[in-house]
Amino acid sequence: MDVLITYDVNTQTREGRRRLRKIATACQNYGQRVQLSVFECTINQMQLETLEAKLLGIMDVEQDSLRIYVLKTGREKALKVYGLDHYVDFQDPLIL
């Protein structure tokens, strides 16, 4: 299942900057950073629930915003990209 995670963290405080780093690190373990605050993850339901719990444990719901979109038809059908694209498709054949 392809999942998109976007977040805004209030970084006006040192604590906020720490939350931002921890949220990015948590997402990094499950997917790819495609934009500054946007991750694409190909994960199963259990991994999604685990990641959600981790992110909820990090964020401050009074100051931060977290949006999780499940791309039910898959990222290929859903997505159009223009300009810089940092996504690496590990399904593609690796040509050495």
Nearer to its own copies, 54 or 96 (CB): 54
List binders of its own copies among 38-67 (CB under 8 A). Answer: 38, 52, 55-56, 59-67
Name, in order, each residue with C-beta under 8 angstroms of 10's C-beta and a sequence gap of 6 or more.
16, 60, 63, 64
Name, in order, each residue with C-beta under 8 angstroms of 70's C-beta and a sequence gap of 6 or more.
1, 2, 3, 4, 48
- Does 72 participate in binding its own copies (rule CB under 8 A)? yes
85 is in an annotated binding site: no
Name, in order, each residue with C-beta under 8 angstroms of 20's C-beta and a sequence gap of 6 or more.
9, 11
List binders of its own copies among 5-24 (CB under 8 A). Answer: 6-8
Positions in the binding site for its own copies (CB under 8 A): 4, 6-8, 34-38, 52, 55-56, 59-73, 75, 77-86
Binding site feature residues for Mg(2+): 8
